[in-house]
Amino acid sequence: MKALLQAHHVPSVAITVIRNRQIQWSAAYGLRAPDAPATNDTLYNIASMAKPISAEVALRLASQKKFTLDEPMYRDWTDPGIAYDERRKLLTPRVALTHRTGFPNWRYQTGNVLTFAFTPDSSYSYSGEGYEYLARFLEKRTGSSFEDLAQRLVLGQIGMQDTAYTQQPWFKDRVASPADASGNFQAPTFAKSAVASDLVYATSSDYAKFLIAVSNGSGVTTMLARERVVRSPGKAYKCAPAPDYKCPVTGVGL
């Protein structure tokens, strides 16, 4: 493992093995920061792996009949950037969860104003903004912050005590610092308020607990547990670096 980390300029890695829906073992290798070894308690920025946790928040609320996956979100939340675009009425929780909103991945790509690249539910395009839109809808519908919803419905229920959307006092001396392409350590980035699609910190074993809970269908109705693994209609994308090679048709579940 040490040789692999050195060859790929990766400072550290944490691994948790699941067998038969049970954690078998966890281990950490390398350095989380200069002169600080990674351990099983090391917290990693899980980046877009935050999205499944946030999706679980939504599905558990839907299971409690707080909303339906196919109801329009504009009655509770409309982003100012699309306030006068009639296509906003086509945005539903299901459309957001399956990356079919028509939004860019991030609004900085469109001058920091949220806009549609295509009509919602007409195609597939990966979008962090879609998840943020859904989070704002859930906050408006429930009157709770997204971080509170995540803690109450998912993290607390599953026992994920080492996972958080924003920086916590218990992060001290536990965070794995990111590194550049040469393996040089950089300062970690933290969210000031919950970001549904990014910047969640967790241990490897905590995320494994989450995967087990999802596999068990915990906290959601049987119908939603089935729907979660049904792939939405997608489209083919050209793969880099070979532009003439086409990837399989892509789409995502809930």
Does residue 253 sit within a domain?
no
Give residue-wise pLDDT tens across range 189-220: 999 999 999 999 999 999 999 999 999 999 99
Does residue 175 sit within a domain?
no
Does residue 35 sit within a domain?
no
Q: Which two tokens stand for residue 141?
A: 């519908």
Q: Which two tokens stand for residue 30?
A: 């390398």
Does residue 254 sit within a domain?
no
pLDDT exceeds 90 at position 13: yes
Does residue 69 sit within a domain?
yes
pLDDT exceeds 70 at position 248: no
Counting residues of the chain whose pLDDT is more than 90, the rounded percentage is 86
Does residue 116 sit within a domain?
yes
Parent domain of 154:
43-170+189-197+205-227
Domain count, the chain: 1
Residue range 135-140: mean pLDDT, rounded: 99
Using pLDDT thresholds of 50, 70 and 90, give the confidence band for residue 246.
low
Using pLDDT thresholds of 50, 70 and 90, give the confidence band for residue 232.
confident
Give residue-wise pLDDT tens across range 34-90: 999 999 999 999 999 999 999 999 999 999 999 999 999 999 999 999 999 999 999
Q: Read off the CATH number of the domain in which 77 is found.
A: 3.40.710.10
Q: Is there a contact between 29 and 12 (Cβ–Cβ < 8 Å)?
A: yes
pTM of the prediction? Answer: 0.92
- Smallest CA-to-CA distance from 106 within 90, 84, 89, 128 is with 128
Strands (E), 4-68: 12-19, 22-33, 36-37, 44-45
Intra-chain end-to-end CA distance of the chain, in Å:
34
Q: Is there a contact between 204 and 46 (Cβ–Cβ < 8 Å)?
A: no
Does residue 134 sit within a domain?
yes
Q: Which two tokens stand for residue 139?
A: 């906050």
Residue range 162-175: mean pLDDT, rounded: 98
Does residue 251 sit within a domain?
no
Residue range 126-147: mean pLDDT, rounded: 98
Q: Is there a contact between 153 and 138 (Cβ–Cβ < 8 Å)?
A: no
pLDDT exceeds 80 at position 240: no
Helices 50-63 and 204-216 meet at what angle, rounded to 10?
Answer: 40
